[in-house]
């Protein structure tokens, strides 16, 4: 076994997956608004209730509350609004505003955050259960990779199984963006899968540094 499987799955998820999900969010969420902060402000209330149960709206979230966003997640997207209602006690959604400088390119918008947005506040086809299932399989694979701190211990069977789940997930999501984007993503994934291309990639970028560290 080698750390190659770990590196390849990481690259598949974070680079290709991040790109696919980023493009899908731009396509389905950002076309009708000027920018990401506006979109986040429009979805602020729904997002707030993924972080805190109670707010001044008093509309207790239906069913059991499950915290999806940790403090650091919330504060990476929103900050206190100086013009907030001063009459509100405690913490509530109305006291916050999306951070104006945040964009799809911000490091805060990593794969985890993109999964969270697609799973919770993206409209259109992305909210369809089939696509939600794809997002879930990507999230599961990402958690699996994170939990394997010993990068050399990924069995080939797991590698193949996750690869065969992630590829169709990313391809299906790319397909609803455009046929052209689907081809780009499929090529990228296949290129990564085959060894020669992998060796060529090793000579470049971060991955090389990663590889050296792990071997």
Write out the residues near Zn ion by the rule CB under 5 A: 55-57, 88, 92, 94
Within the chain, how many helices (H) and strands (E) appear? 11, 2
Nearer to Zn ion, 30 or 56 (CB): 56
- The least distance separating Zn ion from the CB of residue 81, rounded to whole angstroms, comes to 10
Nearer to Zn ion, 94 or 104 (CB): 94
Nearer to Zn ion, 95 or 151 (CB): 95
- The least distance separating Zn ion from the CB of residue 16, rounded to whole angstroms, comes to 36
- The least distance separating Zn ion from the CB of residue 65, rounded to whole angstroms, comes to 11
Q: Return the H-helix or E-strand segment holding 195.
A: helix 195-202
CA–CA distances in Å: residue 162 to residues 9, 142, 158, 196: 8, 10, 6, 21
- The least distance separating Zn ion from the CB of residue 95, rounded to whole angstroms, comes to 6
**Rounded CA gap, 142 and 163, in Å?**
11
Nearer to Zn ion, 42 or 112 (CB): 42
Is the backbone of residue 205 left (phi > 0), alpha (psi -120 to 50) or beta?
Answer: left
**Rounded CA gap, 12 and 15, in Å?**
6
């Amino acid at each position: 076994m080698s750390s190659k499987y770990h590196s390849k799955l990481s690259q598949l998820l974070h680079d290709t997956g991040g790109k696919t999900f980023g493009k899908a969010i731009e396509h389905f969420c950002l076309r009708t608004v000027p920018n990401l902060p506006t979109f986040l402000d429009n979805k602020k209330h729904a997002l707030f209730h993924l972080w805190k149960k109670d707010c001044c709206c008093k509309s207790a979230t239906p069913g059991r509350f499950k915290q999806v966003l940790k403090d650091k997640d919330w504060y990476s997207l929103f900050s206190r609004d100086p013009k907030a209602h001063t009459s509100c006690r405690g913490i509530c959604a109305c006291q916050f505003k999306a951070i104006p400088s945040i964009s799809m390119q911000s490091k805060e918008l990593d794969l985890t955050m993109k999964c969270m947005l697609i799973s919770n506040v993206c409209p259109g086809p992305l909210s369809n259960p089939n696509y939600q299932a794809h997002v879930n399989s990507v999230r599961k694979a990402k958690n699996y990779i994170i939990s394997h701190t010993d990068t050399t211990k990924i069995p080939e069977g797991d590698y193949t199984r996750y690869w065969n789940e992630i590829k169709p997930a990313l391809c299906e999501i790319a397909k609803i963006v455009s046929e052209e984007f689907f081809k780009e993503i499929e090529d990228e994934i296949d290129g990564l899968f085959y060894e020669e291309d992998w060796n060529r990639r090793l000579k470049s970028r971060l991955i090389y540094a990663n590889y050296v560290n792990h071997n």
